[in-house]
Structures are given as C-alpha cells and as structure tokens.
Structure 1
C-alpha cells in the first residue's frame, strides 16, 4: 500500500486538495506584467466588480474563497488561498454572475488583479500561453471537484487529518522530525468552515487528538505528530493507488462497502 508519508515533496504537493496549486512561472510572469497591484485589510471583501472581470492572484497574506450552498445547516464552502496562487479560474471565458461566490481577506493581503479580456486575447497573441491557462483551469476544476467529493463523503476525523497534512505541505514543512509545526494561525471557526463541520465537532476531535498525544500547541502554533498521517493515502479520495483503488477511509468505517465489493473478481456462470 502506498503511504503519503513516503512521497517526495513534489508528490506530496500534488496529493493536496484543500489548497490550489502554485501558479506556474509562465503564467505568474504574465500576471505580474499585465496585472494591477492592490492591498486589502483583514475582513475586507474583494469587490464584486473585481471578482467578476478579473483573475485574482495572491502575492502575500491569506484569502478565503467562499461559495454559498443551498444547505442552511452548512451554508458555505470555504477554500483557503495561500500566496502564489489564483483564487479561482472562475468564468474564464464568460462574464457571468458571481452571486454565489465571494472572497474574504482573512489576513492583510497584497493581490494582483488581471483583466480577463487580456487572457482571452491570448488565443490570438500567444496560443501556447492560452493553452496553459486552459489546462490549469481544467486542473483547478478537477481538484475542486475532488475536494467537494472528499468533504461530502469523508468522516470529520479524516477531513481534519487531510487538512492538517495539506497545510504542512503547502508551507513547505520538512517531514524530517516526529513533530511538525503548522506555520500559520487559524481560528477554530476558520478551520470548521474550511472542513464544513461545526466548531463543537472540531473541538471534540482536537481534544481527542491532544489526549492521544498527536497534536499540541507551541508558541501559539499547532504542532502535529507525524503518526497522525500513518493511515493517510496519497490519493485525495482515500484510494491507495492505481494498483488497488480501494478507499482506506471507507474501509476504516464500513467493512463491507461497495468499493471493496466492486473490486472483487466477477464470476459468471455461462449456460451451455
């Protein structure tokens, strides 16, 4: 069975789903050359006019990309956006409504906004770069779909473990000691929103992990014991790898699940 802890740093990065991928150098160069820099304070919302007509790149700080749902018990999905990433590849070629989406500035942040029309024109001016934008947009959407499926089908405990792992990877933590430090402070409410769970449930899980000696706090930062990730699969949906494709997460809680059943050899009796 493939284990996420055994992956190299590049493979760890590709196994994350809670945070978008770092923008590639050629796209980053285009953004810096053609974009406009703006600074926003913690608690600000990115104006809808900017959200609708521009790509938004985070230079420094922290953003929450919020998508409203129709479930009044869980009214929003929250993506955390760390530096060197785009908030979304939303509406790449169409200027449609963004009423269900908003971007909140979680920490004082510096952004670069790029008019989408400049990107559309690349189809005439630089087809290779335009193709790269389209490829990355599709990959972004794929990761977002994987995240949505993971959040809707995984246990709260698995969601917390996966999120902690992704945060460690994104902040380039060296997995070389038993205890690893998450290099950013997030509130209980922020983490609960990101995991799509209640604050009460988060408190119960964190309390349990502390009793097991798997998490602690040091200088106000959360520290995680690597033993927490022993059962974590490289696949964001819990599948082992291409060889097995059985869900570790599902198997832990449902010993007779459909994934296991579907992987059994099929025996068909043919009438002579």
Structure 2
C-alpha cells in the first residue's frame, strides 16, 4: 500500500460526519422520462480530491448540483460536513466550465467578487485576490478587463475567484474542458499547486481520463444513464505530482488503462 493510500485510509477512519461529505442511496429523476442517477453512494474524506468520470448524460453534473443545493434531493441523503446541502451556503464553492466573469470588472475585482458578496473584509479579500492572481500566473494583469484577456487567462481569474471564497468544498464541473491542450495542462499544474497548499475537498467532473488521474486521489466511474457508481479507483501516485512527468510513469499508464476499462464497461451497462 502506498503512502497516499495509507494517508487516505487513516483520514477516512478518523473522520466524523461533521468533516466528511456523504452521499447515500441517491436516486434522481427529471420528469417521467429521464432517470439521471441510481443508488449513488459515496463518502469523501477530509481534503480528498475526487474526480467523477462517465458517459455524457450519466448524472455527473446532477450529483454536483445536488451537492450544491441547486436541485432538491428526491431519494437518498446527502450530508456536507454534517449538514444537508443548501444553495448559497458559504462552505461550498462552484466553478463552471465557462468563466462567467463580469465584463465591467477588472481581473482583481472579478477575483474578489464572490468573497465580497459573502461579506469578507475588504482589505483581506483584495490581498487574497492579488495573491491568488499571482499564483495563477496573472501578476501584472490585476487591472485588466476580461475583453483584454485570453480564454485561458479568464479561466485563471475564475480559478482565483473560486479559491478566494475560502470554502472547504470546491465543486468543479469541467472547468478546463473548453481550453486547448497546452493551456489545460498549465491550469492543471496551477490547480494542483493551489490544492496542495490548502488541501480542500474537491469534487471534479471531467471527460478527460488523463486529467482525472493526474489530479485525483480517487476516480469514480459512473455507468450510462441511469448513472450508477461502477468503480471507485484509488490513484496511488505520489504527491506532489508533475503533469508532464506523469506521462513517462508506467504506473500512470496502468491506472489509465484500468479507468478506461471500467468506463468501457459502464458504456455497455
């Protein structure tokens, strides 16, 4: 067993309901015709980075929206740090595939906007926003407006905004899915660096198996609709990780093959 597995197992054993995220027997339908998720049960230990992969329409984003409290639980239970999900709670942050920046605000003002809405002290949020913009590689662009930034740069601002919220749970729905391959790899490195410093819980949705393996402690594989959990694969790769170095690691390629095999099974089920 690797150090990563031992650490995660210890964290799971020591964690209580007040510091875990628990999904138990989740079942969700949209109307009469769409059965989105079926009997989904998952537990996330404190500080885990977990990716969910599966075919389009398998309920990945539905699970995320339920955790965010954007849609109501129909069957089963969800608990986030001992409390049921609720829209607008301050311990959850949600990052989407689109940056959703306000065009009339600078990069710095966009990065601090969510923290401002949540009532963070002005001096603290400005300092934190500048610190995060530097961390994501945008030092010198604090006063730039979105129209002057590339797509990748805008998504860097969105990443800074998400971390500026200081929420212990980050929900990320394909945040790098629309980026070119090189920019995506760069932002994966940035996300890993930020996460390693703060070790927040992350639930990350992606169609990119390489991305899921590179970033995660565990990869959850879901079947075709109605989405069921068909595999929960620990990623026993040592941290800190280098996105580029992993491409030469045989262990990485074995894990990729394992996840791909499970995904193929899910497509047939």
TM range (shorter): under 0.3
For CA contacts below 8 A with separation 6 or more, give which structure has more relative contact order.
Answer: 2
